[in-house]
Amino acid sequence: MGYLIEEVESGSLAESAGLKAGFSVLALNGKAEFDILDYLDASGSKLVSIQAEDNGRVFEVTLENDFSAPVGIVFGSPTVDQVRACSNNCQFCFIAQLPKGLREGLYFKDDDYRLSFIQGNYVTLTNASSPDLRRIIDLGLSPVNVSVHCIDPQIRSLLMGNKNAGLIASQIDELASAGIMLNIQLVLCHGINDGEILHSTLDWMLGRIDSIESLSCVPVRLGQPTGDLGMGARFSAAGAMAVIEAINKYRALAKEKNSRGVFCASDEFYIIAGEDFPQDSYYEAYSQYENGVGMARSFIDDFEFCLENLAAPMPQAYAHVATGAFGASFMPDLFSKLWKASSNKVKFETVCVQNDFFGNDVGASGLMCLDDILKATRAARNINELVIPSNTLNADGFFLDGPSFGDALSIFCRMGIRLWRASNAEELFKIARKISG
């Protein structure tokens, strides 16, 4: 048994002690059952004792830690032991709506407080026991990222299909009173937890504002409307505006209390409402950038910075940029500015990718699949150079629908198209120079 070692870092203490990928760790500092938090804790001590096993040979090593090198064991699971699965049945669950036939890992619904700490995942705490909360407090795991949705116990339980969901207020209070900070996400379902319910949730949060690092509201993303509880209702421009106004009201109150605005609406709400994105200062530390809160403002500001700082005259370049409906709503204006600033030399055009894979109200570029990018490219015609956003690929370079970036390069090459990827405005400008070269 034990926990499989996937990799041993080069130059690490584990490598010096002879540990190798494929070995198992049977015990850490005498504990046969341990997890990533125990491992991180042990990595901070001067002596780390490890019982390991290699093909039936059991042996012990003691690492003398002078902190000049990492302990350096990478386990097969991010939590070392099994990742805790979600026990909810949310009416809006995105994973439950995934089409069949994708990579197996995509269907796993994790809800593990340890992943909040090590990877920044949002957790619901519905499967967190009292000892789990105690452990978060004792280890000072702060901040914790929590998907709250609403504070009303009945509505939260109904939304999440889990009666434990109603405990959230006391869980937050227990963590907050022990000094743990929180990043909070409210996924809003129009007609369910917006309106008065949203106001009461924000009001409750205002009372704990010193313990909240950030709070964002994002609209529910539905591939296929379920119809249950009215989940299929999309936010209208007026509905989105009402959310923005509610947040602005509580931002002002939060600022009076602790000089930070804390509450933010996601980019999507601004796009649906047809409003300009707030200025940079609205997003404070951009704590919820990965949730689509401030991504547009950050891209616009970076793009304009690049425009103002063109070090050398731009060469002639013409390329298409694939993006979802959200990016397509603001990028053309930026590309017109680039066209003018480059004296009509650099022309970027957006290719708006309709998301057939997840449903066409999904406009985020990070959820585009290769199949939809290909469809949009074929429909657009006359594309020679195509840039895709890097966030369509996971850390291993795979699209959500399975192919790798290498597969995509070959497919587009056969179509006579050179494929590029860019993760920000600066990379887009670099690509423009490379295209011409």
Dihedral sign for Cα atoms in the order 338, 340, 344, 345? negative
Compute the least distance from the CB of residue 86 to ligand SF4, in Å: 3
Q: Is 404 helix (H, G, I), strand (E, B) or coil?
A: strand
Q: Quick check: 109 binds ligand SF4 (CB under 6 A)? A: yes
Instruction: Give yes or no for a contact between 5 and 20, defined as CB atoms under 8 angstroms apart.
Output: yes
Q: How far is the CB of 357 from ligand SF4 (least distance, A)?
A: 18
Is residue 19 within 8 Å of 63, Cβ to Cβ? Answer: no
Q: Which of residues 84-103 bind ligand SF4 (CB under 6 A)?
A: 86, 88-90, 93, 95
350 part of the interface to ligand SF4, by CB under 6 A: no
Task: Give the HSE-up count for residue 210: Cα atoms under 13 Å, Cβ half-sphere.
Answer: 7
Q: Which residue has the tokens 């991180």?
A: 40
The contact pattern for ligand SF4, residues 68-87, with x = CB under 6 A and - = no contact, is: ------------------x-
Dihedral sign computed on CA atoms, order 108, 109, 112, 114: positive
266 touches ligand SF4 (CB under 6 A)? no
Identify the bridge partners of residue 74 per DSSP, sorted by sequence position: 7
Q: Which residues pair with 8 in a beta bridge?
A: 73
Provide, rounded to whole angstroms, the least separation between the CB of residue 162 and ligand SF4.
Answer: 8
Q: Which of 111, 194, 213, 361 binds ligand SF4 (CB under 6 A)?
A: 111
Here's the x/- map for ligand SF4, 139-158, by CB under 6 A: it reads as --------------------
Q: Does 8 bind ligand SF4 (CB under 6 A)?
A: no
Name the minimum Å distance from CB 172 to ligand SF4: 16
- CB within 8 A of 312, min separation 6: which ones? none
Site string for ligand SF4, 159-188 (x = CB under 6 A): -x----------------------------
Nearest CA to 98 out of 112, 88, 108 is that of 108
Among 12, 51, 116, 124, binds ligand SF4 (CB under 6 A): 124
Asked whether position 116 contacts ligand SF4 by CB under 6 A, the answer is no
Containing 127, the helix (H) or strand (E) segment is none
Return the exposure string of 129-142: e unless at least 16 CB atoms fall within 10 Å of the residue's CB, then b. Answer: eeebbebbbeeebb
Rounded to the nearest whole angstrom, what is the least distance from the CB of residue 91 to ligand SF4 in the complex? Answer: 9
The residue behind tokens 């959500």 is: 400
> Least distance from C-beta 158 to ligand SF4, angstroms?
13
Residues forming the site for ligand SF4 (CB under 6 A): 86, 88-90, 93, 95, 109, 111, 124, 160
